[in-house]
Amino acid sequence: MGMSDMIAVLMILGGAFFLLVASIGIVRFPDFYTRLHAMGKGDTLGIILILLGLCVYEGFTLNSAKLLIALVFVGLTNPVATHALARAALRYGLKPLLKLDQEEKKPSTTSKSDALET
Amino acid sequence: MTDSPGTTIKKFEQREHPWRGVAMQGFALMCLWLVLSGHFDFFHITTGAICVGIVLLLNARISSVQFFQGDVSEWEHLRFEHLLRFLPWLAWEIVEGSIQVASAVLHPKMPIEPAVIRFRVKLPIVGARVLFGNVITLTPGTVTLSITEDEFLIHALRRKSASTIIDGTMPRWIAQLFYDEDEQLVTSVEIIESSKEM
Amino acid sequence: MQDVLIYITNLLAVIIIIPFYRVLKGPTVFDRVLGVGAIGTKTLVLICLVGFIYGRLEMFIDIALAYAVLNFISVLAIAKYFKSYRKGA
Amino acid sequence: MTHFSESPIIVVVGRLIAPFIQLFGLYVIFHGHYGPGGGFQGGAMLAASFLLIRLCVGEEASQMHFKRSLGAPVGILGAAVFFGIGLVTMGAGGYFLDYSLLPFEDVSASKLRFFGILVVEIGIGIAVAATLVAIFDELMGGADNG
């Protein structure tokens, strides 16, 4: 196993770690808007790291150029998808659970978000 | 619209090379075709050129319409020499943001104090605002909720995590991609910490 | 090297299951969509890794790209639907 | 400049990447011989890019891109290419889509097969893309105003 393979494996492992953290974050965070953070950052970095690691392992070929295209596409569209979801939820009237609401220890489920539960 | 962006837009009203955007788009499309195709013989390159022509024709009208003032011509003002300095900074910010989220997720008590922050930012170019919105989503602790004109609404995991936005360092990075800017970029910051105030 | 990649692919296959909790539990529709989007982006990586293991990356990367495009557009479409849903109701 | 309420992030990025998705769809159509893909998949990607523009800038503005009224006629045109080639080969005494019997004199059978398949794939791609967009328009039914 050469040096570049080691770097590739390290990057892929790091990417897998961030994907794992993002997944746990999506489950563990208390409300929708905080879960967006896990999707917008953790997922993006995880995918970028794994694809870059594959690029390093593959070397300087056409396939790694294709991987770079996929990387740029994901890096461009993942924040946009996050923003679109956030905006849709805000327009729908979903209220975020903020600091003072947390201190009051009240669930911030308004009638609107109750109606959303299916 | 108190500090009307109209004065600064005037810088970009003249479009010396209206064809430059189309040429850049065509070049990028041809590069994409060559990378995807992987066959470099005459037949495949010719079909590629024809396909790029078809795509450019199909998109000619929709990409020359301005949905926001000046959103078509401004990508030509992107300064590539600044982009080279910008990308490493962005990469570091993404890594830092992910590490912050990871530490918040893995911490047993989950130390977050979510807040919504509303502010105005003086970026007269729509492309700069789009880039700024995406960078906010990617950088530590903040997600863009909505953009109307020059007013941003962002969600922050902690109050502190929005400090680089409020003091103007992050918008300055974006602004420098397009033009030299030394003014105070962020104005009328409003921090909302209870959902009743929204 | 191949073994390491296979282990990581298995790990990813486990990671993908975690957001399903959000898809099933909710509580709001947007949480479900968020979970679906997260699963989609991870699937993209999984397709690339599988292509690597089979040694046919040039084929699988096309599938992965198409999957990424469709995932992005589906999230946008669902977001758009819930935006206009309120207007009509 | 039209008044517009959609977020600039979605509009700008959507219009930025739609041409690239179209080119990817065309690539999938033209390289059906070498990998996965072909007419149907490429047509679906083309339709995806048209739908992306419709979602991003709204029904009204997207008429500049792919007209609502074009959906059915272009779909029929694509299907006509497919059936036309099939029927021509049948008329030349072979089976449906027996490419080697296409009426070009001085072209070898393998070349005929290659280009026959390519033209049929293009026809299928156009038909699928236009039909999917037509279905989307029909489902929205003009209810969506951006």
Say yes or no: domain B79-197 is CATH 3.90.1200: no
In D, which residues are within 8 Å of B129 by CB distance?
8
Bond preceding residue B124 cis, omega within 30 of 0: no
- C-alpha pair distances (Å), B79 with each of B106, B130, B179, D80: 40, 16, 8, 49
The predicted pLDDT at position B16 comes to: 46
Q: Supply A19's token pair.
A: 């994907």
| Total CB pairs under 8 A between chain A and B | 125
Partners of B143 in the β-ladder: B155
Cα B82 from Cα B79, distance rounded (Å): 6
The predicted pLDDT at position A113 comes to: 43
Mind listing the pLDDT tens digit for each residue in B44-98? 888 889 999 988 888 877 777 666 665 555 666 677 778 888 888 888 888 888 8
DSSP chain D: -----S-HHHHHHHHHHHHHHHHHHHHHHHTTTTSS--HHHHHHHHHHHHHHHHHHHHHHHGGGTS-GGGHHHHHHHHHHHHHHHHHHHHHTTS-TT-GGGSS-TTS-HHHHHHHHHHHHHHHHHHHHHHHHHHHHHHHHTT----
Between chains, do B52 and D2 touch, taking CB under 8 Å as contact? no
SS (H, E, C) B7-73: HHHHHHCCCCCHHHHHHHHHHHHHHHHHHHHCCCCHHHHHHHHHHHHHHHHHHHCCCCCCCCCCCCC
Mind listing the pLDDT tens digit for each residue in C4-53? 888 888 988 888 888 888 888 878 888 888 888 888 888 988 998 898 88
Q: In this structure, are residues B62 and D57 in contact, taking their beta carbons and an 8 Å threshold?
A: yes
Give A30 or D100, the one with higher predicted confidence: A30
Total domains present in chain D: 1
Q: Which of B68, B75, B62 is nearest to B28 (CA)?
A: B75
Cα A15 from Cα A52, distance rounded (Å): 9
Between chains, do C63 and D36 touch, taking CB under 8 Å as contact? yes
Model confidence at B151, pLDDT cuts 50, 70, 90, reads confident
In A, which residues are within 8 Å of C61 by CB distance?
63, 66-67, 70
- C-alpha pair distances (Å), B50 with each of B31, B41, D58: 14, 15, 29
D100 belongs to a structural domain: yes
The predicted pLDDT at position B75 comes to: 64
Between chains, do A85 and C37 touch, taking CB under 8 Å as contact? yes
Q: Which residue has the tokens 């272009």?
A: D74
Of the partner residues A31, A76, A86, the one whose CB lies closest to the CB of residue B143: A86
D145 belongs to a structural domain: no
The predicted pLDDT at position D127 comes to: 92
Q: Which of B127, A84, A41 is nearest to C81 (CA)?
A: A84
D109 belongs to a structural domain: yes
Of the partner residues A18, A30, A66, the one whose CB lies closest to the CB of residue B102: A18
Between chains, do C66 and D10 touch, taking CB under 8 Å as contact? no
* Distance in Å from the first CA to the final CA of chain A: 52
CA of D10, closest CA in chain A: separation in Å? 7
Q: What is the mean pLDDT of chain D?
A: 81
Q: Which residue has the tokens 């003014």?
A: B183
Residue C3 burial (C-beta neighbours within 10 Å; 0-12, 13-18, 19+): exposed
In D, which residues are within 8 Å of A80 by CB distance?
9-10, 13
The predicted pLDDT at position C87 comes to: 46
D1 belongs to a structural domain: no
Domain containing C18: what range?
2-88
The predicted pLDDT at position B4 comes to: 37
Residues of D within an 8 Å Cβ radius of C: 10, 14, 21, 24, 28, 35-37, 41, 45, 48, 51-52, 55-56, 143-144
Optimal mutation site among A80, A83, A85, interface D, most CBs of chain D within 10 A? A80
The predicted pLDDT at position D48 comes to: 92
Total domains present in chain C: 1
A30 alpha carbon, distance to own chain's centre? 16
> What are the structural domain ranges in chain B?
6-75, 79-197
Mind listing the pLDDT tens digit for each residue in A4-19? 888 888 988 999 998 9
